[in-house]
Amino acid sequence: MTKRLFAISGVSGGSVGAAVAAAAMARTKSGEQPCVERQPSLWYGDTIGNWRDCLEALTADDFLTPVSIGLVFRDIVRFG
Amino acid sequence: MADAFRHTYIPRSWKEIVGYARALWAVVLGYIPRSWSDVVDFALILWVIRVPVCALAVGFALLCLVPQAQDLLVELIEYSWHVVFFLALVFFIWASTTHYTARLLLDTDERFRARVAERSSDFIENWEIFLSRLLGALTFVAVLLSAERSIENLPVIDDPYIVPYVSRMLRWFQLVTLATLGIFIWYMLSRNALSALQPVRNLESKTGFVRRFLRRIGIEPRLNSNNLGPLMLFVVFMLCAGILLLSPVWIARWFPRSLAVPLLLGAWVPFLSLLSDMGRHYRAPVIAGAAVAVAILSFLFGDNHSVRRVNAAQILGRQPDSAEMSLNRAVDLWMSANSCKEDPAKCPRPIIIAAAGGASRAGFFTASIIGLRKRTPALILPR
C-alpha cells in the first residue's frame, strides 16, 4: 500500500492524522507497525496487533486536557 | 408570622393551614423586590460577588452548551472512584469556593455593610444570605443539566445494549450528584453548628495563622469567626499557584478530562475574588489593572510558550530541500517506486487520501482508515 500511496491531503484534525500516519510509516523499514506500547490507556482495544491498531492508539490520546489547563493557567500568567 | 413558619409543626385545622400559608407568603415576600431601592440592592449584591457569579456563568455555559464537555461524563461513569473524585472536586474546588467567596465578599465589603445598615430591610439581608447559598448549589445543578444533555447526545447505534446501559449509568450519576447536592445544602445550613463541634474547634485552634494572614491583608471575615472557610480558600489558591508552576501535561495526568473541569472553573475564584475585594476597597479596577500588568510584563520579559524549533540541517547533516516539488517530479518518483516508469500502462492505481477537518476525531479516523488500508491491502481496488 505504501508504494501505491501517491498523496495525502488534509485540513485541521485530518492533517494531524495524516502526519501521524506518515511519520509512523517513515519510522519503519520492515513494514511492521512501529508501536511498542502494549496497553494504551485510552484506546478501546486491548493489545496492538497491526497497523490500524497502532495508528488508532497513537491518535487516541488525551490532547484536550493539557491544552485546556495551559490555556486557563499558564497562558494567562505567561511572562518569565 | 415568619417566625412561626420557621418552627416545624403539623397544622391540625384549616385555620392553622391558613396561618401557615400566610407565614410562608411573608417569607416569600421578603425575597421579592418592592421598590427601585430593592432592585439596586440586588444589583449591588451581584456586583460585590461578581467573580463567583461569572465563574458560575462560565461553568453553566461550558457544561450546558458545549457537547464535548457534556460527553466527558460518559467516560467518567465507567469507574465509580472517578465519579466520587469528580464530585469531591466539584464540592470542594468549585461549589464550596463559589459559596464561601460570595459569603466572604459580602461580609467584608465595607460599603456594602454600610448600605445594609442604612437600608435595614429584610430584602437585602435575605438575599445576601440566600444568594451565596444559591450560587454554591447551582454548581451541582450545572453538573445535573450536563448529564441530562449527555444522555440526549448519546448516538443511535446498532448495539442494543451499550446505549441503554450508558443512559442508565448517567441516571445513576445524576442521583449521586443530587445526593451530593443534598449534603452540600446541609453543610451550608449547618456551617455554624459544625464549627461548634469539638474536633472542628481543635482544628480551628491550629489554623489561627489563616486569620492572622487575612487580617494582615485586610480581609478578615467580619461575621463568622471560623478559620476553616478561609483555610479552604487558601488551599485552593495554593493549588492554583501550584498549577501555574507545574507543567500542564503533568496536571493533565493527575486530573484527566472531566476531572480537570472543577479545577478550570474553581481554582481562580479565590484569587480573583481577593482582587475584586481590593477593587471595592480602593475604588479601583484592580482585576482589569492586573490583566494590563500581566500584558505589560509579558511584553517586557517575554512569554514562556515553549515552541520547539528543530534544526533540520543539523539532524540531516545537510541543508534540507525545502523547494516545492512539481507534480511531474512527484509522478516520476511514484512511478519509479512502483517500477513502472518505463511502461506507465502497467502502473497500479494510485492511492490519494483526502482527510477533512474535525479536531482530534478527524485525526483518529484518518489514521484509522490509513491503518485499515495498510492492514488489509485487499481492500484497495485492483489496478
| Cβ <8 Å between A69 and B268 | no
What percentage of chain A has pLDDT greater than the value 90? 12
Strands (E), B63-136: none
Q: From A67, which residue of chain B is nearest by alpha-carbon distance? A: B248
Helix H or strand E segment including B130: helix B122-153
What angle do the packed helices B36-48 and B96-108 form, to 10 degrees?
A: 120
Q: How confident is the model at residue B383 (pLDDT cuts 50, 70, 90)?
A: very low
Report whether pLDDT(B138) > 90: yes
Q: Tell me, what's the ipTM?
A: 0.89
Q: For position B304, what pLDDT does the model report?
A: 65
pLDDT (tens digit, 9 = 90+) per residue, B337-346? 899 888 888 8
What percentage of chain B has pLDDT greater than the value 90? 28
Tell me how far apart the alpha carbons of residues B96 and B88 are, in angstroms, rounded to a whole number. Answer: 10
Q: For position B1, what pLDDT does the model report?
A: 45
Measured between beta carbons, the chain B residues lying within 8 angstroms of A59 are 360, 363-364, 366-368
**Grid cell at residue B12:** 391540625
Most confident range, picked from A5-14, A64-73, B299-308: A5-14
Least CB-CB distance to A52: which of B302, B359, B372?
A: B372
CB B217 within 8 Å of CB A30: no
Q: For position A19, what pLDDT does the model report?
A: 92
Contacts of residue B276, Cβ cutoff 8 Å, sequence gap at least 6 = B48, B50, B51, B105, B286, B287
Measured between beta carbons, the chain B residues lying within 8 angstroms of A15 are 355, 357
Q: For position B336, what pLDDT does the model report?
A: 92
pLDDT (tens digit, 9 = 90+) per residue, B76-100? 888 888 899 999 999 999 999 999 8
Query: What mean pLDDT value characterizes chain B?
Result: 84
| Cβ <8 Å between B260 and A69 | yes
Residues B150, B153, B155, CA angle at the centre, nearest 5°? 130
Amino acid at B314: Q
Tell me how far apart the alpha carbons of residues B70 and B47 are, in angstroms, rounded to a whole number. Answer: 30
DSSP state of B332: H
How far A70 CA sits from the closest chain B CA (Å)?
5
Q: For position B220, what pLDDT does the model report?
A: 63
Measured from the Cβ of residue A38, the count of other Cβ atoms closer than 10 Å reads 9
Q: How far is CA A73 from CA A12, A39, A65, B7, B243, in A?
A: 25, 31, 12, 48, 7
CB B69 within 8 Å of CB B63: yes
H-only helix segments in B154-227: 162-189, 191-195, 198-205, 208-216
Q: How confident is the model at residue B227 (pLDDT cuts 50, 70, 90)?
A: low
Amino acid at B189: L
Report whether pLDDT(B11) > 70: no
Q: For position A32, what pLDDT does the model report?
A: 81
At residue B60, the 3 state secondary structure works out as helix
Strands A5-10 and B351-355: parallel
CB A46 within 8 Å of CB A53: no
Q: For position B320, what pLDDT does the model report?
A: 81
Tell me how far apart the alpha carbons of residues B264 and B251 are, in angstroms, rounded to a whole number. Answer: 11
